[in-house]
Amino acid sequence: SAVVDGVPAKVRERHAELSQDLDDHSYRYYMGSPIIADAEYDGMMIELRGLEERYPTLRTPDSPTQKVGAPISNLFEAVEHLERMQSLDNAFSTEELSAWAQRVENEIAVDAYLCELKIDGLAVDLVYEKGRLVRAATRGDGRVGEDITLNVRTIDAIPVHLDGSVESVPELLEVRGEVFLPGKEFEELNARLADEGKPPFANPRNAAAGSLRQKDPRITATRPLSMLCHGVGAHEGVRFTHQSHAYDLLKAWGLPVSDRTRVVGTLDEVRHYIDHYAEHRHDPAYEIDGVVVKVDDVATQRRLGSTSRWPRWAIAYKYPPEEVTTRLLDIRVNV
Ligand code: NAD
């Protein structure tokens, strides 16, 4: 076939087709109604990345390989995040995890790693001014998200006012976290939907995304959503030396943080944490799809910086998907 810019027309067509499909699936996924399994999505992404490695001119800034999330809907107002929200790089084996740690440690010494559970929910951005929640938004494309403040205000775990005196809370605080629907509440919600003759959700993640993105906050209020914080964006009037230090402060201000997070000194201990939760994957009340490993020291995080898609100082170790047959849909899906 014809070759343009060194790229055969067939390859260019396949690249365009995959990009379009990935964008469409991404949009559906973030709306809470994906139609393909994550593994299938990941497979298409791997194929696209492969094409771009062979033909680098195909790797344009609008390629799905270079972007975070999906464009937002027009259901809600668009809001710009104070600081960009990113995705996470993935490791699917201990070799890939060690390779990441090696790249980091070749650049800078690391004193401590923070191990956290990777909650399978959806990311939200909360902005507190003088301790008051003034805005909540979805991640969107990482730069612009959807204003879901009214919906988020119905979530009991998220304080509208931070605890502490005016002097002890920061002037400005942008917090990131994961909103999720606990497993038990997910089962109950589906039973309720079935009673009402409404379609059930395929998994807790979709249920959380669908519940949070309701046009009517009164519907969100009937869904027992919860949240755990996993990051900080813009902030004024406070200094965080370590990510774990930030979590201690968030906790003191009444924000929800996980008590399963651990600070460890070596990669061996990181592996131990990963092995532990591979065995105890269903101990937490919420679904997890892996472990997130972060460099704890904030100055080191800054030195390492980030790519257009993810920070270099963190990585998500993904557990293999658990394939189950759902009673409700009678099809095999990843939950
Ligand atoms: P991701 O879900 O793999 O990882 C990044 C996200 O993890 C962060 O944005 C954050 O919200 C979350 N997170 C959970 N716990 C965290 C913690 N402790 N610390 C930090 N972050 C934490 O990446 P992504 O960019 O959100 O989505 C890509 C994933 O979505 C892929 O696995 C892909 O398969 C899936 N996907 C599926 C479809 C589909 O159609 N099935 C479409 C698009 C994307």
Ligand 1 atom closest to 90 (CA): 3
Specify the pLDDT at position 138: 96
Ligand-binding site membership of 296 (annotated): no
Ligand 1 atom closest to 68 (CA): 25
Nearest residue CA, atom 24 of ligand 1? 87
Kindly state the tokens that stand for 219: 């519907």
Ligand 1 atom closest to 87 (CA): 5
Residue 283 has pLDDT above 60, yes or no: yes
Asked if 179 contacts 138 with a C-beta cutoff of 8 angstroms, the reply is: no
ipTM of model over 0.90: yes
Ligand 1 center from residue 87 Cα (angstroms): 7
Residue 296 has pLDDT above 80, yes or no: yes
User: What does pLDDT average to over the chain?
Assistant: 93
Closest CA to 122 of 23, 228, 193, 215: 228
CB-neighbour burial class of residue 232 (10 A; exposed 0-12, middle 13-18, buried 19+): buried
Alpha-carbon distance 314 to 170, whole Å? 25
Q: Kindly indicate the confidence band of residue 73, based on its pLDDT and cuts at 50, 70 and 90.
A: confident
Ligand 1 atom closest to 334 (CA): 41
Strand partners, 156: none
Which residues' Cβ are closer than 6 Å to ligand 1? Answer: 25-26, 28-29, 34, 36-38, 41-42, 68, 87-88, 116, 118-119, 123, 139, 178, 230-231, 292, 316
Specify the pLDDT at position 324: 53
Q: How many CB atoms lie within 10 A of CB 289?
A: 20
Spell out the domains of the chain, with CATH numbers in brackets. 3-66 (1.10.287.610), 78-334 (3.30.470.30)
What would the pLDDT profile of 208-266 be if each residue is shown by its tens digit? Answer: 999 999 999 999 999 999 999 999 999 999 999 999 999 999 999 999 999 999 999 99
Q: What is the mean pLDDT of residues 45-71?
A: 94
Ligand 1 center from residue 208 Cα (angstroms): 14
Q: Kindly indicate the confidence band of residue 328, based on its pLDDT and cuts at 50, 70 and 90.
A: very low
Specify the pLDDT at position 90: 92
Ligand-binding site membership of 198 (annotated): no
Ligand-binding site membership of 116 (annotated): yes
Residue 329 has pLDDT above 80, yes or no: no
pTM of the model: 0.92
What would the pLDDT profile of 14-34 be if each residue is shown by its tens digit? Answer: 999 999 999 999 999 988 889
Specify the pLDDT at position 4: 83
Nearest residue CA, atom 43 of ligand 1? 26
The 3-state secondary structure of the chain reads: CCEECCEEHHHHHHHHHHHHHHHHHHHHHHHCCCCCCHHHHHHHHHHHHHHHHHCHHHCCCCCHHHCCCCCCCCCCCEEECCCCCCCCCEECCHHHHHHHHHHHHHHCCCCCEEEEEEECCEEEEEEEECCEEEEEEECCCCCEEEECHHHHCCCCCCCCECCCCCCCCCCEEEEEEEEECCHHHHHHHHHHHHHCCCCCCCCHHHHHHHHHCCCCHHHHHCCCCEEEEEEEEEEECCCCCEHHHHHHHHHHCCCCCCCCCEEECCHHHHHHHHHHHHHCCCCCCCCEEEEEEEECEHHHHHHHCECCCCECCEEEEECCCCEEECCCCCCEEEC
What would the pLDDT profile of 105-152 be if each residue is shown by its tens digit? Answer: 999 999 999 999 999 999 999 999 999 999 999 999 999 999 999 999
State which of 230, 263, 322 you would mutate to test the pocket of ligand 1, scoring each by most atoms of that ligand within 8 A of its C-beta: 230
Specify the pLDDT at position 38: 86
State which of 47, 118, 294 you would mutate to test the pocket of ligand 1, scoring each by most atoms of that ligand within 8 A of its C-beta: 118
Ligand 1 center from residue 240 Cα (angstroms): 25
